[in-house]
Amino acid sequence: MATLRVDPDYQQATAAYAGIVAPVPQDAAALRRLNDAAIAAVVGKVPVPERTVTETTLQYTSADGTPLTLHRFTPNPAQTTANTTSGSSSPQPAVFYLHGGGLVSGSVALFRQDIMRYAASTNLSILAPAYRLAPAHPFPTPLHDVYAALEYLRDHGRGHGIDAARLAVMGVSAGGGLAAGVALAARDRGLAPPIARLVLVCPMLDDRTRIADADPRAAHLTWTGRKNEIGWAAYLGRDAGVEGTDVSPWAAPARAADVSGLPPTYLDVGGLDLFRDESLAFAARLARANVDVELHLYPGVPHAWEWLAVGAPVTRRAMENRARALMDLQAQRLS
């Protein structure tokens, strides 16, 4: 049977967890409890950057009239004040960040350390909406929450010093699938200005993904096939994972018949990630549709490796590549 190499630096960084057998969740509530505890444990330990990042909040309204919070993380406030005051004549590029959590868990608060790390490394403001979660709020509610936040930035961004024409939509894990879904929705609805860039980090794109016990990745998964099935079922209901059903591509972007017209896209994934094959397939489809794509496959690491092995060389490379993809917005022409 074929084997896959585990990155030695990742293996060393996670040696303390090697003997731990994770509980197997049976439903969405159990998955949320397990996920939130794991996210708090690993993402919460991401070092807070030395440079100051200030968090503020804005309020907006989703499509169903529900008031929601849009969190803003601003690096170096003393240096950016001139560009963030109301009526500024020099709006700046920004990042729209969608947190992960398997569609049923996670929050801006739990991902705060990760968001601050990107704000500090790019010197860009990051906006993160507190979108609602399944199963209490299945599709399309989370997508509507995210799209409404984009519309808010389109209509009011300049007043907050944000150039809506230079907005990157970045999503991590389930947030990556949501980012791709909202990019498809923005294309289909003719959002103007369009999203400038799409940054997908180990995205959760396909509800039909399954993994066999004999797959060489199976022994290394941090996000398992069982967790994936629970998350998608909470989001899509009985149609999850079933071929031939009318699942919206805005919900499961891998099902999109046409991916042309999407923004230039950066995508990365680990070689031991459950999402490896669906990510590679999506990137290939984007390239065939003549969308500019930058793809990174990092061998020997599973889902969420960058939080489990913060100091590993593979993590540093990935963080540098993601930051560069975001900072390219600085070179784009002002709207």
Express each pLDDT in 209-259 by its tens digit: 999 999 999 999 999 999 999 999 999 999 999 998 899 999 999 999 999
Is the pLDDT assigned to residue 79 strictly greater than 50? no
- Render the burial of 192-211: b for 16+ CB within 10 Å, e for the rest: eeebbbbbbbbbbbbbbbeb
In degrees to the nearest 10, what's the CA dihedral of 89, 91, 92, 98? 160
pLDDT for the residue 218: 93
Which stretches of the chain are DSSP H helices? 8-13, 28-42, 77-84, 112-122, 141-156, 174-189, 225-236, 276-288, 305-308, 313-327
Average predicted confidence (pLDDT) for the chain = 93
User: Which tokens go with 50?
Assistant: 């030395």
Residue 171 phi/psi, 5° resolution?
Answer: -135, 145
25-82+89-331: what fold? Answer: Rossmann fold (3.40.50)
- Mean pLDDT to the nearest integer, 83-109: 83
- Termini Cα distance of the chain: 55
pLDDT for the residue 83: 40
Domains of the chain, residue spans: 25-82+89-331
Going by pLDDT thresholds of 50, 70 and 90, the confidence category of residue 89 is low
Residue 248 phi/psi, 5° resolution?
Answer: -65, 140
pLDDT for the residue 18: 78
Q: Are the CB atoms for 167 and 196 separated by under 8 Å?
A: yes
| Whole-number Å distance between alpha carbons of 42 and 121 | 19
Is the pLDDT assigned to residue 194 strictly greater than 60? yes
